Structure 1
Amino acid sequence: MAKVSSFIKIEGTLDNLTFYKGKEGYLVRTKGGVSKERIQNDPAFERTRENGSEFGQSASSGKLLRTAVRNLLLKAKDNRVTSRLTQKMAAIKNLDTTSVRGQRNVAEGISGVEGKSLLKSFDFNDRAKLSAVLFAPFDVDTTTGEVTMPNMVPTETITSPSGATHFSLRSAVAKIDFELSSHAIDYSPTENFPIDSASSNISLLPASVPSDPGTQIHLLLVEFFQEINGVQYPLKNGAYNVLNIVEVV
C-alpha cells in the first residue's frame, strides 16, 4: 500500500493498480485475489468449482420458474424474490442423492416428496403471505387444476389492506421440467368480489392442465383494489397482492 502524492486524486482500477480513498488520504495498492483462470483450472479449487456449478444450476432453476409464472409474478412479488427462490432451489438441489458433487440438481431433488414439500407454500411476495391474508379453507384438485372455496365470506376470511373495497382470485397450473428447462402454464378466469359479508362458493378452474412433462405446480393469486366512481384501481402497485404455490405434484 502506498500514498498518492500527485495533485490528481483518482479512485478506481488501472492495469493492476487500485486507487482508493482511505482515512490516511488517497492510497494505491496492487490488485489482489485469485485469478479467474486459476479458479477454473487449479485442482486446489475443485470444491469451489463444484459449488459454483451447483449454485448456477439452482439460480437457473429459479429463473425457469419465474419465467413460467411471469404473468402472475408481475402482479405480486418483492424485491428479493430472485434470491429467495434461488435459496429455495438450492435447498431442493441438496436433496439430490444420486448425482455426484458438483452435478446435484433441482430436477432430481424435486422428484421426491420432500423436495416438493420444500417448494409448496412459497410466497413470491414476502410482504403479503397467503397464510396471513386468506383464512378460507380451500381445496386443490390436482387432476383438473380447480381450486375451490365453499361458503367463502370475505369479511370473515380475508385480511384486506386499508382502503381496499374489492379483491380478485385467480389460479394457475404449471408444468416445469427442470431437467429440460421447459415450461407450460394455464390459468383460470379472474374472479372479482366486493369485500363484504356475502357468502360465495368459489371455483377457479384453469382452461386445462398442461400435458407437458415435469413437476406440476399449482398457484393462487390474490389481488386487492379500491373502487372509486365505479372504477377499480390496484392498491399501491400490487404491494399487498399474494402469489403462492399452493400445491406441488
Structure 2
Amino acid sequence: MNDPAYIRTRENIAEFGSTAQSGKLLRNAIGTMLNRAKDPRMSSRMMGILSKVRQLDSSSARGERIVSEGLATINGKQLLKGFDFNNRAALQAVFHAPFSLDTTTGVVTIENLVPTDQLQVPEGATHVAFRSAFIKLDFSTGDYNAQYSPVVNTLLNMSPSTITLTPAGVPTGSGTQFYLLLIEFFQEVNGEQYPLRNGAFNVLNLIDVV
C-alpha cells in the first residue's frame, strides 16, 4: 500500500470509494421513490455518470477529486441532469407533454395534459400517477432534506387536465438541489389499483440539478 509504483492505483481506489459514497447518498436522499422505478443496473449506471462528474473537479489533487466539486460546475450539473433511474422507461420515451419547473419552490406544472395522447401507455393500464421531489443534498457532510409532493392520480383518457405537483416545502440546509419526477402506471380491478409488473413501466427522472 506504500509502494511508489502503485501510487496511481491508490489514487484511483480512493476516488472510486468517494464516488461510490456520493452515489449511495443520492440514492438514500431519493428515498422510497427509487423503489418504484429503477432497473437492475441503475447503481452502476449512476456510478459511471458520477465518475465523469468527479473528473470535472479541477481544484483537488489526483486521488482527492470529489463529486461535489464536479457538481459545482455547469458541465457537472448537465451530466447528471436528465438521468433516468429506470432505463426500461425513459422519460422522453414515455412522456410527451411540456412541463415547467419552478426551481425556487420545486413546483412542477403540466398544463392541459391529455393522458392517452401524451403518454406511452402500457397495455392494461387504466390510471397514471405523478409525484415530484425537491431534494437538497450536501455531499461534504452527508446531510440531506427531501420534500415530496402529494401523489396526483388520474384516469387514462382523452380529457385534458392540468397537473400541479407542489412539494410539502422547500428543503432546508446547504448543498446541491435535485428535482425529480415520478410517473407510475396502475390497472384498476374492482375499484382497486394495482401496479403494473412491479414498476417495470414506471418513470423516475432527474429533471434538473441546481
SS in 2 for 1:87: helix
2:45 maps to what in 1?
84
Select 1:208's aligned residue among 163, 169, 174.
Answer: 169
The residue type paired with residue 35 of structure 2 is L
Gaps of 5+ in 1: 1-39
The residue type paired with residue 89 of structure 1 is L
Q: Does 1:60 align with 2:21?
A: yes
CA distance in 2, matches of 1:202, 1:163: 22
Deviation of the 1:41 alpha carbon: 1.6
Q: Does 1:123 align with 2:80?
A: no
CA distance in 1, matches of 2:49, 2:18: 12
2:100 maps to what in 1?
139
Q: Does 1:46 align with 2:24?
A: no
SS in 2 for 1:74: helix
Taking the TM superposition and a 5 Å limit, the aligned residue runs for 1:1-249 are 40-249=1-210
CA distance in 1, matches of 2:203, 2:162: 20
CA distance in 2, matches of 1:211, 1:165: 37
Pairwise CA RMSD of aligned residues? 0.7
The residue type paired with residue 111 of structure 2 is P
The residue type paired with residue 104 of structure 1 is R
Please give the TM-score of this superposition, normalised by the length of structure 1.
0.83
Q: Deviations over 1:134-171 (max 9, x none)?
A: 01100000011000011110011100111111110000
The residue type paired with residue 174 of structure 2 is P
Q: Deviations over 1:188-246 (max 9, x none)?
A: 00000111001001100001111210000000000000011111100001111110000
The number of equivalent residue pairs is 210
The residue type paired with residue 191 of structure 1 is V
SS in 2 for 1:104: coil
Larger radius of gyration: 1
1:35 maps to what in 2?
none
CA distance in 2, matches of 1:70, 1:145: 17
SS in 1 for 2:65: coil
CA distance in 2, matches of 1:156, 1:164: 14
State the 4+ residue runs in structure 1 displaced beyond 6 angstroms. Answer: none
CA distance in 1, matches of 2:31, 2:164: 23
CA distance in 2, matches of 1:155, 1:126: 21
Deviation of the 1:182 alpha carbon: 1.5
